[in-house]
Structure 1
Amino acid sequence: MEDEYYPVEISENIYWVGVIDWNLRDFHAYATPKGSSYNSYLILDDKITLIDTVKDHLADEMISRIEKVVDPAKIDYVVANHVEPDHSSSLSRVMKMNQNAKIFATKRAKDGLCQYYRPYGCDSWDFEVVDTGYELDLGKRTLAFIETPMLHWPDSMQTYLKEDRILFSNDGFGQHLASSHRFNDEVDNALEEASEYYANILMPFSKPVFNLLEKVEKLNIEIDMIATGHGIIWRDNPGQIIDAYRKWASGETVPKVLVIYDSMWGSTEKMAKVVVEGITSKGIEAQLLHLRKNEWSMIIREILEAPVIAIGSTTINNGPLHSVAGFLTHLKGLRPKNKKAAVFGSYGWGGGGVKFAESELENTGVEIVEKGIQIKFGPDKEDLKACRELGIRLADIASLDQTRT
């Protein structure tokens, strides 16, 4: 190929051959304003091995990088850590260039790949089904596979290069971040980006996260580098992201209250601002987050470490504004742990928004700790006093919650 895309050697004879998706702005309705990358890795050994592929429309870039190192037709093994198309949809291109390559995948991954890519000849591909503990001799190096079901698909696994102590983690420990840099010590915001990724993609799967960390410990795996499926690679103190995952999965929080709201004519917004005043009067951090003026993915990241949230909504058609209803549905799917909440809002001729929001939060597993405040039309002095007092009580709850943590 004529394209001038070059690999990055991340360790001796181990290359990043992925692609950077600078213009990605949406991933499963999760806003990605900083783009992303799809990371694929090439290991040169007696058996040349490719770990994961990239989105199909960017396959030419991956192949160009591989060609700078080796003829793609000489690839012996392909490791498919995950079926999802952002990691697998150029697999058919790789197999077309080398029909004799063997694919290593979990049983569920094999089944999923063949369902996706049967029209591209998957029935003729040579698969080896692997599970936790299976080891693959490459010559001078050895790969060991670790099944990670529901992190975040049933087919998922991670691959460990024993001699180099590199964990190829696919969707674990990554970030949606497009960068000209490849390593965490070259960027300033890796952990922050990883927290947003975890909150929006992996938050519902805290138990599988703990299962992975337990497997790593039981298998006595020492990790010098985590080569992720998205974003940058952790080579400087990779233990920091492992520790962060342990904290996030356990539901640890900091003393903070989020006031998340939308307003039609400003009444609910007035209430929200006074709730914030009550919170901050107790020395507790508060954030005021308008649902149509902030990316939901960013709000979800803040929820990850906040023990208490307050939801505010105007009532329309006997329910909350569509932005609030949509956000609560989104939150329900993510199933945040150890959260407490209160609801407030205004209405015109008929209420309903507050009751709906409380019900949705309870269905999410969030504990309602205060009776909802509803006011008709605009808040008066007594209404605003009640809102301030609500903020004070929520601050106290956030403070106590942190003490228990």
Structure 2
Amino acid sequence: MDDYKPLEIAKGIYWVGVVDWNLRDFHGYETPKGGSYNSYLVIDEKIALIDTVKAPFAGEMIKRISQIIDPSKIDYIISNHVEMDHSSSISRVLELAPNAKVFASSKGQTGLSEYYKEEGFDNWDLNVVKTGDELSLGERTLMFIEATMLHWPDSMQTYVKEDKLLFSNDAFGQHIATSKRFDDEVDDVMEDAGIYYANILLPFGGQVLKYIEKLKGLEVHPEMIAPAHGIIWRDNVSKVMTQYLKWAHGETVPKVLVIYDTMWGSTEKMAMEIVEGARSAGVEVRLRHLRKNDWSMTMKELMDAPVVAIGSPTMNNGMFFTNAGFLTYLTGLHPKGKKYFLFGSYGWGGGAVKGMEKMMESAKFELAMESMQIKFRPYEEDKKACREIGYKLAEIAKDNANS
């Protein structure tokens, strides 16, 4: 049995990446299913390596390459993105193939020079490319496409024209660890793609729309999309591209998302009543406890909800620590077109709601209605008020849903 076996995804094109089975955190968002770092080898008269892998996994990638060719025969290394989960094995490959040329965008050149000064960047044969530039491998042609802010300024993609195969780097990815490599072999892959989009690409909807228009202008119509994370799209290519358009446009449905944390149950009781009120109005409702649900999935739920209610107990005259953390995460991703309602409970000082309002105001988020807070615990009159608020939030969600 061959260890570290590569996989041929098209004639002469191989996946030589690695699976990170134990990945549980990817620069801040949870990855309970693990992840992968995908690298691809194209064999022609010239040999090209499309992206590398995170440095600790370089040996595994090289073992896969070695089962196909002697790594010293690599002619070109394409660096689609500077981030270290894609680029930090370049220097290791160059030790084996010192004559290989490296290709990157202009901003990619800048980033690589700053990251890898100590890894001998000054000796790299680096070539800057821009959208529409082509590189012949022999029978195949690589075309480069700048994908600015998907999701870094340096991001670009590489398209194999003859195979209609798009190496999309961080676009169209997912964070899942699996022995399977294709979308038709894995369940719930669109759900995983949505979680990925919500936590990586959500702030860049405008850039996503421009990017898809750019593909049309270049007459790039991929029949396979090979991202740098997760599985390869071969069965649902048009479906995932259509879904990206919907996410980028911020399409929403009649839905209320209630997010909260609680200390002694008071804020939770308020959340439950808001949920019941919204449910009675006939809209979809989701409830997410911040310490019992991962934030990455909460962001996925938030994408198609026009109305979001967030509740926090008061602790040390401010909002609860999980609420503060989540709101920092939320405002960084800055979803557009949402209306928010804030609620909470307190004992002797009502600082939670005030703190959340301040963060919302700073982020220029729109409040659906006046916030609500109760002292100590909600009694029947408070519960009734929460149910009425839930009903009103549902009506706002109906009015503001756009799909």
Report the equivalent of 2:257: 258
Deviation at 1:3, TM superposition (A): 8.2
- 1:275 is aligned to 274
Residue number in structure 2 paired with 1:188: 187
Q: Give every structure 1 segment of 4 or more consecutive aligned residues whose post-TM-superposition deviation is greater than 6 Å.
A: none
Give the deviation of 1:81 after TM superposition. Answer: 0.2
Cα distance in 2 for partners of 1:7, 1:163 equals 22
Alignment match, 1:106: 105
- Match of 1:294, as an amino acid? N
1:80 matched to which residue of 2? 79
Kept after mapping to 2: 8 A contact 1:332/1:363: no
Q: Give the count of matched residue pairs.
A: 403
**Within 2, Cα distance between the matches of 1:114 and 1:98?**
19
One-letter amino acid of the counterpart of residue 64, structure 2:
R
8 Å contact kept, 2:183–2:236: no
What's the CA shift string for 1:34-89, capped at 9, x where partnerless? Answer: 01000000000011000000011111110011011111000011100000010011
Q: Per-residue CA shift, 1:221-255, capped at 9, x if unaligned?
A: 11100000000000013011111111111110122
Indicate yes or no: 2:63 matched with 1:64.
Answer: yes
Within 2, Cα distance between the matches of 1:285 and 1:350?
A: 34
Structure 2 match to 1:325: 324
Alpha-carbon distance between aligned partners in 2 of 1:368 and 1:107, rounded to the nearest angstrom: 41
Which structure 2 residue ranges, 5 or more long, are not aligned?
none
> So what's the TM-score if we normalise by structure 1?
0.98
Which residue is 1:202 aligned to? Answer: 201
The 5-angstrom pairing of residues 5-404 of structure 1 reads 5-402=4-401, 404=402
8 Å contact 2:49–2:77 — kept in the other structure? yes
Taking the aligned partners of 1:101 and 1:3, their CA distance within structure 2 comes to 27
CA distance in 1, matches of 2:368, 2:52: 47
The CA deviation string for residues 104-141 of structure 1, in whole angstroms up to 9 with x for no partner, is 11111112112212212111110110000101111101
| 1:314 Cα deviation after fit | 1.0
Give percent identity, aligned residues only.
60
Alpha-carbon separation, structure 2, partners of 1:303 and 1:70: 46
Q: What displacement does 1:341 show?
A: 1.0
Which amino acid in 1 is paired with 2:376?
F
Q: Any idea what SS the aligned residue of 1:6 has?
A: coil
State the Cα distance separating 1:7 from its structure 2 match: 0.6
Gaps of 5+ in 1: none
Q: Counterparts of 2:361 and 2:229 in 1: how far apart (Å)?
A: 33
**TM-score, normalised on structure 2?**
0.98
Q: 1:258-290 deviations in whole A, cap 9, x for unaligned? A: 111111111111111011010111111111211
Residues 76 and 102 in structure 1, CA contact (< 8 A), matched pair in contact too: yes
AA aligned opposite 2:87: S
